[in-house]
């Protein structure tokens, strides 16, 4: 029997023999995967309404905003940290040209700041939807109520 075909065990045979939760079960998905699903749900709903305007817009999820550290004693905060010292929940990067390549507009949603602000999964889903709607509104130059009248 090949090494990869054998069950995974510790050297004394008392360890885990496989996954505790089968794949495809919500409990078997990581928090990051569940968060990605919440963002996808919000984006898919908005893309149905604003298909033409959102064509080519990229949506991304990052764990936290990027902050540049120059040295242990000096910290230079990137634009991702707001003037009041709070951390943003998302960011819009407009379309731009990078040399000869055209870079499409991108909306980045930050997972950890949103998770820390939410009280439970339902609250997180509502917060993610609100943040995505707000960022789409900024990108399209419209009011959030116009982007999502149900919200």
Q: Is the dihedral of CA 74, 77, 81, 85 positive or negative?
A: positive
Q: In what order do the strands lie in the sheet with 106-110?
A: 58-62, 106-110, 90-93
| Per-residue model confidence as pLDDT tens digits over 16-31 | 666 666 666 666 678 8
What CATH class has 31-147?
alpha beta
Distance CA 79, CA 83 (A): 9
Q: Where are the domains of the chain?
A: 31-147
8 Å CB contact between 82 and 91: no
Per-residue pLDDT tens digits for 63-75: 998 765 444 444 4
Q: Is the pTM of this model over 0.75?
A: no
- At 71 the pLDDT is 42
């Amino acid at each position: 029997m090949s090494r990869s075909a054998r069950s995974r065990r510790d050297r004394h045979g008392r360890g885990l023999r496989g996954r505790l939760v089968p794949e495809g079960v919500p409990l078997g998905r990581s928090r990051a995967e569940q968060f990605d699903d919440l963002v996808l749900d919000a984006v898919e709903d908005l893309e149905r309404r604003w298909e033409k305007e959102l064509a080519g817009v990229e949506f991304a999820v990052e764990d936290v905003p990027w902050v540049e550290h120059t040295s242990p004693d000096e910290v230079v905060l990137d634009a991702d940290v707001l003037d009041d010292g709070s951390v943003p929940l998302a960011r819009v990067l407009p379309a731009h040209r990078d040399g000869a390549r055209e870079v499409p507009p991108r909306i980045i949603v930050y997972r950890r700041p949103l998770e820390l602000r939410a009280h439970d999964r339902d609250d997180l889903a509502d917060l993610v939807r609100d943040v995505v709607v707000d960022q789409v509104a900024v990108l399209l130059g419209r009011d959030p109520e116009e982007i999502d009248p149900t919200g």
